[in-house]
Structure 1
């Protein structure tokens, strides 16, 4: 690898650990049938590796930001629909769906919820504790849930509630369940500074039948790659009418010009901007 100026290279490794940066030069290593060689492709430069590292940091930040309004919208929708069933439906498995009434999953979720409620310093929690004994209605309780806990509560909800929430997203209940699980992994990757741009995602997202959403059909990608996951985010931003759909396309336009590692490592085609109106913003 051409490391350029030695002083600059040392400064980079003081800023970013060797082990962390090695994940970004992995695709620069020669490919063989048995895996990657230790030797790099000719023309590999440290500055290109750093460009990918810096791009990935921007992509994580933008993705985390793009997911926030989706999370808030799902919270609001789920709290509203469960509130129609009962103001405290989340505390009574008998008011929830069959999944909450079998196995230990709901009990574990409830224990985590109560622990979070006890530790919360939110003003609205203090207000409800002083006035109502801390028994939060579900439309307030959802504000304490992270993405994972929200996904579980959605899974525990009665099917009618699930259908109302998923319909607002343009999806069926099983589809939205799978999307929430998949995007929770994406969110956690961003929150914990994991490598995102060339990640292979293992949780499968169920997609609508061809023809239901032409803009989703038109997105050319491998759905287990990051561009596929970002397309799910673009779709939800569009259907829920929240957030800024320009955020992710703007970051992707800044993918560094590196011949050895093109944007296809993201799972996108070279003409990704013109494949679907989800990306033509």
Structure 2
């Protein structure tokens, strides 16, 4: 068991590994607000051999301020993407509900196993999850249609405002009748091929940003497909990193509102000339 260290001991641990700390008071304050464990995810990129028990010394000249700067750039991008993803999520919910309502009416077809493809992963558990999300919502809009634990009368336009982004993306991906999903893709002028995978990846990224997960020098668990012709207009990037999702985010934002400045702010971040940008374009976790 590792003992809990005081803030001063945490600073001593880092300086003992060769990290330069100019302002010790600032360092302890930062550790108190961000935690040693969180910052270590950024610090390891500056260590000689972080995977080795004996190689966690820092590269010469690395300062605490440099580690914090990497962390702050990550937070800045995460905030920009979360702001953008909230707009995209809201739009996806509205457009998907609109098309589903016009094609399926007001019954809870989304709780019927027959509505889903046979390849839907863990379908029974997923349907239980949907009912659980409806029961936990405690919204008057849900209660108006529910009878005890029976949610079969909750219209899809109500349910999609309650379900998590991840649940919505799974419904979009695995419904047998894909007419609504195709209509949503067309409404954004996005090719159908790869559309559901893109929405899934954006849902995962949204959760990562919302929970302050690290993006810098991290590969995403669910990648966003990018067409070859699209790459020609973008900087070189690793498809497993977050930039593939950034491309999709910019495209969705401009399709929703060409005057929206969020896409421009994301673009400006990557054109800032910051030395940390490469860690988002071509992550190389150490």
Where does residue 91 of structure 1 map in the other structure?
A: 111
1:72 aligns with 2:90: yes
Where does residue 3 of structure 2 map in the other structure?
A: none
- Is the partner of 2:48 in helix, strand or coil? strand
Rounded to whole Å, the distance in 1 between the matches of 2:190 and 2:29 is 48
Bigger drift between 240-249 and 177-186 goes to: 240-249
Rounded to whole Å, the distance in 1 between the matches of 2:202 and 2:51 is 32
1:56 offset after TM fit, Å? Answer: 1.6
Where does residue 265 of structure 1 map in the other structure?
A: 279
Question: What is the TM-score of this pair, normalised by structure 2?
Answer: 0.77
Asked whether the 8 Å contact 1:168–1:240 carries over to 2, the reply is no
Where does residue 39 of structure 2 map in the other structure?
A: 21
Where does residue 219 of structure 1 map in the other structure?
A: 234
- Is the partner of 2:144 in helix, strand or coil? helix
Rounded to whole Å, the distance in 1 between the matches of 2:63 and 2:281 is 23
1:111 aligns with 2:111: no
The alpha-carbon distance between structure 1 residues 161 and 37, as it changes in their structure 2 partners (threshold 3 A), is same
Q: How many residues align?
A: 255
Among 207, 211, 235, the alignment partner of 2:226 is: 207
Rounded to whole Å, the distance in 2 between the matches of 1:102 and 1:186 is 24
1:139 aligns with 2:142: no
Rounded to whole Å, the distance in 1 between the matches of 2:226 and 2:247 is 12
1:46 offset after TM fit, Å? Answer: 0.4
Rounded to whole Å, the distance in 2 between the matches of 1:93 and 1:4 is 61
Question: What is the TM-score of this pair, normalised by structure 1?
Answer: 0.79
Runs (5+) with no aligned partner, structure 1: 269-281
- Higher relative CO (Cα under 8 Å, sequence separation at least 6) belongs to 1
1:144 offset after TM fit, Å? Answer: 0.8
Runs (5+) with no aligned partner, structure 2: 1-18
1:172 offset after TM fit, Å? Answer: 3.5
Asked whether the 8 Å contact 2:49–2:57 carries over to 1, the reply is no
Asked whether the 8 Å contact 1:198–1:226 carries over to 2, the reply is no
Rounded to whole Å, the distance in 2 between the matches of 1:12 and 1:73 is 37
Rounded to whole Å, the distance in 2 between the matches of 1:35 and 1:234 is 41
1:162 aligns with 2:177: no
1:251 offset after TM fit, Å? Answer: 4.5
Where does residue 202 of structure 2 map in the other structure?
A: 183
- Is the partner of 2:145 in helix, strand or coil? helix
Rounded to whole Å, the distance in 2 between the matches of 1:217 and 1:159 is 31
